[in-house]
Amino acid sequence: MKFLLIGKNGQVGWELSHSLSKLGNVFALGRSELDLSMPETLGAIIQDIRPDIIINAAAYTAVDKAESEPDLAMTVNGISPGVIAREAKKIGAGMIHYSTDYVFDGKATSPYKEESPTYPLNIYGKSKLAGEQAVIQVGIPHIIIRTSWVYSLRGSNFLLTIKKLAQTRKQIKVVDDQTGAPTWAGSIAEGTKRILEKSLTKSTKAEKLFIGSGVFHMSCSGKTNWFGFANKILEFSGLSKNTELIPIPTTAYTTPAVRPKYSRLSNKKLKQVFNQEMPKWQDALHQCLDLPSN
Ligand SMILES: NC(=O)c1ccc[n+]([C@@H]2O[C@H](COP(=O)([O-])OP(=O)(O)OC[C@H]3O[C@@H](n4cnc5c(N)ncnc54)[C@H](OP(=O)(O)O)[C@@H]3O)[C@@H](O)[C@H]2O)c1
Protein backbone atom coordinates (compact mmCIF):
# COMPACT_ATOMS: atom_id res chain seq x y z
CA MET A 1 0.00 0.00 0.00
CA LYS A 2 1.39 3.35 -1.03
CA PHE A 3 0.35 6.44 0.97
CA LEU A 4 0.91 10.05 0.03
CA LEU A 5 0.89 12.12 3.22
CA ILE A 6 0.49 15.86 2.61
CA GLY A 7 1.43 18.18 5.48
CA LYS A 8 4.08 16.06 7.20
CA ASN A 9 5.29 18.91 9.41
CA GLY A 10 1.94 19.84 10.96
CA GLN A 11 0.71 18.54 14.33
CA VAL A 12 -1.45 15.78 12.86
CA GLY A 13 0.83 15.21 9.86
CA TRP A 14 3.87 14.62 12.03
CA GLU A 15 2.06 12.06 14.20
CA LEU A 16 0.69 10.39 11.05
CA SER A 17 4.12 10.12 9.48
CA HIS A 18 5.02 7.79 12.36
CA SER A 19 1.81 5.77 12.72
CA LEU A 20 1.22 5.19 8.98
CA SER A 21 4.66 3.72 8.39
CA LYS A 22 3.38 0.54 10.07
CA LEU A 23 0.77 0.13 7.32
CA GLY A 24 2.75 0.65 4.12
CA ASN A 25 5.10 2.90 2.17
CA VAL A 26 4.59 6.52 3.14
CA PHE A 27 5.62 9.35 0.81
CA ALA A 28 5.45 12.28 3.22
CA LEU A 29 5.63 15.80 1.79
CA GLY A 30 5.85 19.20 3.44
CA ARG A 31 4.95 22.62 2.10
CA SER A 32 8.28 23.03 0.29
CA GLU A 33 7.56 19.91 -1.81
CA LEU A 34 3.81 20.38 -2.29
CA ASP A 35 2.20 23.79 -1.87
CA LEU A 36 -1.59 23.89 -1.58
CA SER A 37 -1.62 27.59 -2.41
CA MET A 38 -0.67 26.56 -5.97
CA PRO A 39 -3.41 24.12 -7.01
CA GLU A 40 -2.12 24.02 -10.60
CA THR A 41 1.10 22.30 -9.42
CA LEU A 42 -0.54 19.44 -7.52
CA GLY A 43 -1.43 17.16 -10.44
CA ALA A 44 2.14 16.53 -11.58
CA ILE A 45 3.30 15.66 -8.05
CA ILE A 46 0.43 13.26 -7.40
CA GLN A 47 0.68 11.58 -10.81
CA ASP A 48 4.41 11.12 -10.27
CA ILE A 49 3.91 9.29 -6.94
CA ARG A 50 0.67 7.45 -7.94
CA PRO A 51 -0.38 6.58 -4.36
CA ASP A 52 -3.19 4.20 -3.39
CA ILE A 53 -4.36 6.59 -0.69
CA ILE A 54 -3.77 10.31 -0.24
CA ILE A 55 -3.95 11.70 3.28
CA ASN A 56 -4.24 15.47 3.42
CA ALA A 57 -3.24 16.77 6.85
CA ALA A 58 -2.12 20.17 5.54
CA ALA A 59 -4.32 23.20 5.96
CA TYR A 60 -4.35 26.94 6.48
CA THR A 61 -5.05 26.81 10.23
CA ALA A 62 -4.44 30.43 11.33
CA VAL A 63 -8.08 31.06 12.27
CA ASP A 64 -7.72 34.78 13.03
CA LYS A 65 -5.30 35.57 10.19
CA ALA A 66 -7.70 33.96 7.73
CA GLU A 67 -10.06 36.91 8.25
CA SER A 68 -7.52 39.14 6.48
CA GLU A 69 -6.31 36.48 3.99
CA PRO A 70 -9.60 34.96 2.81
CA ASP A 71 -8.41 34.16 -0.72
CA LEU A 72 -5.33 32.27 0.47
CA ALA A 73 -7.36 30.38 3.11
CA MET A 74 -9.94 29.46 0.48
CA THR A 75 -7.34 28.27 -2.03
CA VAL A 76 -5.49 26.11 0.52
CA ASN A 77 -8.52 24.76 2.42
CA GLY A 78 -11.35 25.03 -0.07
CA ILE A 79 -9.99 24.60 -3.60
CA SER A 80 -6.87 22.44 -3.38
CA PRO A 81 -8.58 19.50 -1.58
CA GLY A 82 -10.93 19.23 -4.58
CA VAL A 83 -7.96 19.28 -6.97
CA ILE A 84 -6.29 16.50 -4.95
CA ALA A 85 -9.51 14.46 -5.08
CA ARG A 86 -9.75 14.89 -8.88
CA GLU A 87 -6.15 13.75 -9.25
CA ALA A 88 -6.91 10.78 -6.97
CA LYS A 89 -9.82 9.85 -9.23
CA LYS A 90 -7.54 9.65 -12.27
CA ILE A 91 -5.41 6.96 -10.60
CA GLY A 92 -8.16 5.18 -8.65
CA ALA A 93 -6.86 6.38 -5.27
CA GLY A 94 -8.85 7.01 -2.11
CA MET A 95 -8.49 10.06 0.14
CA ILE A 96 -8.49 10.90 3.83
CA HIS A 97 -9.02 14.57 4.58
CA TYR A 98 -9.36 16.53 7.85
CA SER A 99 -11.87 19.17 8.77
CA THR A 100 -13.04 21.09 11.79
CA ASP A 101 -15.69 21.70 14.44
CA TYR A 102 -15.66 25.31 13.18
CA VAL A 103 -18.00 24.32 10.32
CA PHE A 104 -20.78 24.65 12.96
CA ASP A 105 -22.35 27.80 14.38
CA GLY A 106 -22.07 26.78 18.03
CA LYS A 107 -25.76 27.24 18.84
CA ALA A 108 -26.31 23.55 19.67
CA THR A 109 -26.57 22.29 23.23
CA SER A 110 -25.74 18.64 22.53
CA PRO A 111 -22.85 17.19 20.47
CA TYR A 112 -22.99 17.84 16.73
CA LYS A 113 -23.58 14.84 14.49
CA GLU A 114 -22.07 14.44 11.03
CA GLU A 115 -25.40 15.34 9.42
CA SER A 116 -26.08 18.36 11.65
CA PRO A 117 -26.56 21.52 9.58
CA THR A 118 -23.34 23.42 9.02
CA TYR A 119 -23.07 27.19 9.35
CA PRO A 120 -19.49 28.41 9.77
CA LEU A 121 -19.03 31.70 11.61
CA ASN A 122 -15.59 32.61 10.26
CA ILE A 123 -13.49 32.49 7.06
CA TYR A 124 -11.47 29.49 8.25
CA GLY A 125 -14.66 27.48 8.89
CA LYS A 126 -16.11 28.52 5.53
CA SER A 127 -12.94 27.52 3.71
CA LYS A 128 -12.81 24.12 5.47
CA LEU A 129 -16.45 23.45 4.67
CA ALA A 130 -15.77 24.29 1.01
CA GLY A 131 -12.90 21.75 1.09
CA GLU A 132 -15.17 19.02 2.48
CA GLN A 133 -17.75 19.68 -0.23
CA ALA A 134 -15.12 19.75 -2.97
CA VAL A 135 -13.78 16.32 -1.93
CA ILE A 136 -17.25 14.77 -1.61
CA GLN A 137 -18.34 16.13 -5.00
CA VAL A 138 -15.58 14.26 -6.87
CA GLY A 139 -17.06 10.94 -5.80
CA ILE A 140 -13.92 9.01 -4.88
CA PRO A 141 -13.67 6.70 -1.83
CA HIS A 142 -13.06 9.19 0.95
CA ILE A 143 -13.09 9.68 4.70
CA ILE A 144 -13.38 13.24 6.00
CA ILE A 145 -12.44 13.46 9.66
CA ARG A 146 -13.75 16.46 11.56
CA THR A 147 -11.88 17.10 14.77
CA SER A 148 -11.51 19.91 17.33
CA TRP A 149 -9.11 21.96 19.46
CA VAL A 150 -5.98 20.13 18.24
CA TYR A 151 -2.77 20.31 20.28
CA SER A 152 0.56 18.52 20.46
CA LEU A 153 4.11 19.15 21.64
CA ARG A 154 5.01 20.85 18.33
CA GLY A 155 3.81 23.78 16.30
CA SER A 156 1.67 26.51 17.79
CA ASN A 157 -1.27 25.52 19.91
CA PHE A 158 -3.08 26.25 23.18
CA LEU A 159 -1.08 23.72 25.23
CA LEU A 160 2.28 25.24 24.33
CA THR A 161 0.97 28.80 24.67
CA ILE A 162 -0.31 28.20 28.22
CA LYS A 163 2.89 26.42 29.26
CA LYS A 164 4.98 29.29 27.88
CA LEU A 165 2.86 32.00 29.53
CA ALA A 166 3.04 30.16 32.85
CA GLN A 167 6.84 30.55 32.82
CA THR A 168 6.60 34.33 32.84
CA ARG A 169 3.18 35.40 34.15
CA LYS A 170 1.66 35.30 37.62
CA GLN A 171 -1.85 35.48 36.13
CA ILE A 172 -3.33 34.28 32.84
CA LYS A 173 -6.84 35.21 31.72
CA VAL A 174 -8.61 32.40 29.83
CA VAL A 175 -12.02 32.27 28.17
CA ASP A 176 -14.49 30.03 30.02
CA ASP A 177 -17.62 30.20 27.87
CA GLN A 178 -16.66 28.19 24.78
CA THR A 179 -17.34 24.48 25.18
CA GLY A 180 -15.54 21.77 23.23
CA ALA A 181 -13.09 18.90 23.43
CA PRO A 182 -9.31 19.32 23.23
CA THR A 183 -7.91 16.59 20.99
CA TRP A 184 -4.29 15.42 20.94
CA ALA A 185 -2.85 15.08 17.43
CA GLY A 186 -1.54 11.66 18.48
CA SER A 187 -5.11 10.49 19.18
CA ILE A 188 -6.16 11.63 15.69
CA ALA A 189 -3.25 9.80 14.05
CA GLU A 190 -4.04 6.66 16.04
CA GLY A 191 -7.74 6.94 15.12
CA THR A 192 -6.83 7.40 11.44
CA LYS A 193 -4.55 4.39 11.54
CA ARG A 194 -7.32 2.29 13.05
CA ILE A 195 -9.78 3.41 10.34
CA LEU A 196 -7.26 2.38 7.70
CA GLU A 197 -6.58 -0.96 9.40
CA LYS A 198 -10.32 -1.71 9.45
CA SER A 199 -10.87 -0.50 5.91
CA LEU A 200 -7.94 -1.82 3.98
CA THR A 201 -8.38 -5.11 2.28
CA LYS A 202 -5.86 -7.04 0.26
CA SER A 203 -7.42 -5.50 -2.82
CA THR A 204 -5.67 -2.54 -4.35
CA LYS A 205 -8.92 -1.28 -5.84
CA ALA A 206 -9.72 2.03 -4.20
CA GLU A 207 -13.46 1.37 -4.00
CA LYS A 208 -12.75 -1.55 -1.67
CA LEU A 209 -10.45 0.47 0.56
CA PHE A 210 -13.07 2.16 2.70
CA ILE A 211 -16.04 0.52 4.43
CA GLY A 212 -18.13 3.63 4.04
CA SER A 213 -17.09 6.89 2.47
CA GLY A 214 -18.29 9.94 4.32
CA VAL A 215 -17.75 12.43 7.10
CA PHE A 216 -16.74 11.17 10.55
CA HIS A 217 -16.37 13.09 13.79
CA MET A 218 -13.24 12.26 15.80
CA SER A 219 -12.62 14.30 18.94
CA CYS A 220 -11.39 13.20 22.31
CA SER A 221 -14.33 12.32 24.55
CA GLY A 222 -15.71 14.50 27.32
CA LYS A 223 -15.98 18.26 27.32
CA THR A 224 -14.44 21.33 28.83
CA ASN A 225 -13.84 25.00 28.07
CA TRP A 226 -10.52 26.76 27.42
CA PHE A 227 -10.24 27.72 31.11
CA GLY A 228 -10.79 24.09 32.16
CA PHE A 229 -8.23 22.92 29.60
CA ALA A 230 -5.69 25.48 30.84
CA ASN A 231 -6.28 24.34 34.42
CA LYS A 232 -5.46 20.71 33.55
CA ILE A 233 -2.40 21.77 31.53
CA LEU A 234 -0.98 23.63 34.53
CA GLU A 235 -1.93 20.83 36.94
CA PHE A 236 -0.36 18.08 34.80
CA SER A 237 2.72 20.19 34.12
CA GLY A 238 3.22 20.99 37.81
CA LEU A 239 2.83 24.73 37.13
CA SER A 240 -0.38 25.41 39.12
CA LYS A 241 1.51 26.96 42.04
CA ASN A 242 3.31 29.52 39.87
CA THR A 243 0.35 30.91 37.99
CA GLU A 244 -3.22 31.90 38.75
CA LEU A 245 -5.81 31.35 36.01
CA ILE A 246 -8.59 33.89 35.75
CA PRO A 247 -11.78 32.94 33.87
CA ILE A 248 -13.11 35.58 31.47
CA PRO A 249 -16.01 35.67 29.01
CA THR A 250 -15.39 35.66 25.25
CA THR A 251 -16.65 39.25 25.17
CA ALA A 252 -13.58 40.29 27.19
CA TYR A 253 -11.16 38.71 24.70
CA THR A 254 -11.92 39.98 21.24
CA THR A 255 -10.36 38.23 18.25
CA PRO A 256 -10.70 38.92 14.50
CA ALA A 257 -12.53 35.60 13.96
CA VAL A 258 -15.79 34.75 15.75
CA ARG A 259 -15.69 31.29 17.32
CA PRO A 260 -18.58 28.92 18.05
CA LYS A 261 -19.72 28.89 21.69
CA TYR A 262 -20.32 25.17 21.60
CA SER A 263 -18.51 22.78 19.28
CA ARG A 264 -18.62 19.32 20.82
CA LEU A 265 -18.65 16.58 18.18
CA SER A 266 -20.49 13.29 18.62
CA ASN A 267 -18.22 10.28 18.00
CA LYS A 268 -21.17 7.85 17.74
CA LYS A 269 -20.76 7.20 14.00
CA LEU A 270 -17.06 6.43 14.51
CA LYS A 271 -18.08 3.85 17.10
CA GLN A 272 -20.87 2.39 14.94
CA VAL A 273 -18.91 2.08 11.69
CA PHE A 274 -15.35 1.51 12.90
CA ASN A 275 -16.00 0.28 16.46
CA GLN A 276 -13.67 2.96 17.67
CA GLU A 277 -13.70 4.82 21.01
CA MET A 278 -11.75 8.03 21.47
CA PRO A 279 -9.81 8.56 24.72
CA LYS A 280 -11.01 11.01 27.37
CA TRP A 281 -9.44 14.41 26.72
CA GLN A 282 -7.74 14.38 30.13
CA ASP A 283 -6.15 10.96 29.42
CA ALA A 284 -4.94 12.08 25.99
CA LEU A 285 -3.39 15.21 27.54
CA HIS A 286 -1.66 13.00 30.09
CA GLN A 287 -0.31 10.81 27.29
CA CYS A 288 0.79 13.77 25.18
CA LEU A 289 2.77 15.17 28.10
CA ASP A 290 4.34 11.72 28.44
CA LEU A 291 3.45 11.47 32.11
CA PRO A 292 3.60 8.12 33.91
CA SER A 293 0.22 6.35 33.78
CA ASN A 294 -2.01 6.59 36.89
N1 LIG B 1 -5.33 23.01 14.89
C2 LIG B 1 -6.59 22.86 15.30
O3 LIG B 1 -6.98 23.30 16.39
C4 LIG B 1 -7.59 22.13 14.43
C5 LIG B 1 -8.91 22.00 14.91
C6 LIG B 1 -9.83 21.31 14.13
C7 LIG B 1 -9.44 20.77 12.91
N8 LIG B 1 -8.17 20.94 12.48
C9 LIG B 1 -7.80 20.39 11.17
O10 LIG B 1 -6.94 19.29 11.38
C11 LIG B 1 -6.01 19.21 10.29
C12 LIG B 1 -4.59 19.17 10.82
O13 LIG B 1 -4.37 20.40 11.53
P14 LIG B 1 -3.07 20.64 12.41
O15 LIG B 1 -3.52 21.13 13.73
O16 LIG B 1 -2.16 19.48 12.33
O17 LIG B 1 -2.47 21.87 11.62
P18 LIG B 1 -1.04 22.57 11.77
O19 LIG B 1 -0.30 22.01 12.91
O20 LIG B 1 -1.28 24.03 11.69
O21 LIG B 1 -0.31 22.08 10.44
C22 LIG B 1 -0.78 22.46 9.20
C23 LIG B 1 0.27 22.06 8.19
O24 LIG B 1 -0.21 22.51 6.93
C25 LIG B 1 0.88 23.07 6.27
N26 LIG B 1 0.46 24.08 5.29
C27 LIG B 1 -0.07 25.30 5.51
N28 LIG B 1 -0.24 25.93 4.34
C29 LIG B 1 0.21 25.10 3.38
C30 LIG B 1 0.31 25.17 1.98
N31 LIG B 1 -0.04 26.28 1.31
N32 LIG B 1 0.81 24.11 1.30
C33 LIG B 1 1.20 22.99 1.95
N34 LIG B 1 1.16 22.87 3.28
C35 LIG B 1 0.65 23.91 3.99
C36 LIG B 1 1.75 23.71 7.32
O37 LIG B 1 3.04 23.84 6.78
P38 LIG B 1 4.23 24.55 7.55
O39 LIG B 1 4.72 23.51 8.53
O40 LIG B 1 5.21 24.86 6.48
O41 LIG B 1 3.64 25.77 8.19
C42 LIG B 1 1.64 22.71 8.45
O43 LIG B 1 2.65 21.72 8.36
C44 LIG B 1 -6.32 20.39 9.38
O45 LIG B 1 -7.17 19.97 8.35
C46 LIG B 1 -7.06 21.35 10.28
O47 LIG B 1 -7.92 22.20 9.56
C48 LIG B 1 -7.22 21.58 13.22
Per-residue DSSP letter, 294? -
| Tens digits of residue pLDDT in 11-65 | 999 999 999 998 889 999 999 999 999 999 999 999 999 999 999 999 999 999 9
Selection from 185, 151, 168 nearest residue 239 by Cα: 168
pLDDT of residue 145: 98
Phi first, then psi: what are they for 13, rounded to 5°?
-60, -40
Q: Give the CA count within 13 Å in the CB-facing half-sphere of 92.
A: 8
Percent of the chain with pLDDT over 90: 87
pLDDT of residue 134: 98
pLDDT of residue 8: 97
Q: Please pick, among 124, 151, 253, 262, the residue that the annotation labels catalytic.
A: 124
Q: Residue 204 above 60 pLDDT?
A: no
- Average pLDDT (200-204) is 59
Nearest CA to ligand 1 atom 34: 31
Closest ligand 1 atom to 62 CA: 20
- Average pLDDT (141-151) is 96
Interatomic CA distance for residues 99 and 215, integer angstroms: 9
Side chain identity, residue 100? T
- Average pLDDT (267-277) is 93
Q: Which residues line ligand 1 (CB under 6 A)?
A: 7, 9-13, 30-31, 34-37, 57-61, 76, 98, 100-101, 128, 147-150, 155, 185
Centre of ligand 1 from the C-alpha of residue 183, in Å: 14
pLDDT of residue 294: 47
Looking at domain 2-157+182-222+263-279, what is its CATH homologous superfamily?
A: NAD(P)-binding Rossmann-like Domain (3.40.50.720)
- Return the domain boundaries, the chain: 2-157+182-222+263-279
| Tens digits of residue pLDDT in 226-240 | 999 999 999 999 988
- Average pLDDT (91-118) is 97
- Average pLDDT (115-137) is 97
Q: Three-state DSSP class for 78?
A: helix
Identify whether 151 is a catalytic site residue: no
Cβ burial, residue 62 (10 Å; 0-12/13-18/19+): middle
pLDDT of residue 207: 58
Q: Are 265 and 148 a contacting pair, CB within 8 Å?
A: yes
Selection from 32, 214, 24, 13 nearest residue 133 by Cα: 214
Q: Residue 124 above 90 pLDDT?
A: yes
| Residue from 11, 216, 226 to probe ligand 1 pocket by mutation (most atoms less than 8 Å from CB) | 11
Burial call 261-274: b when 16+ CB within 10 Å, e when fewer: bbbbbebebbeebb
Paired residues of 54 in beta bridges: 4, 95
Mean pLDDT of the chain: 93
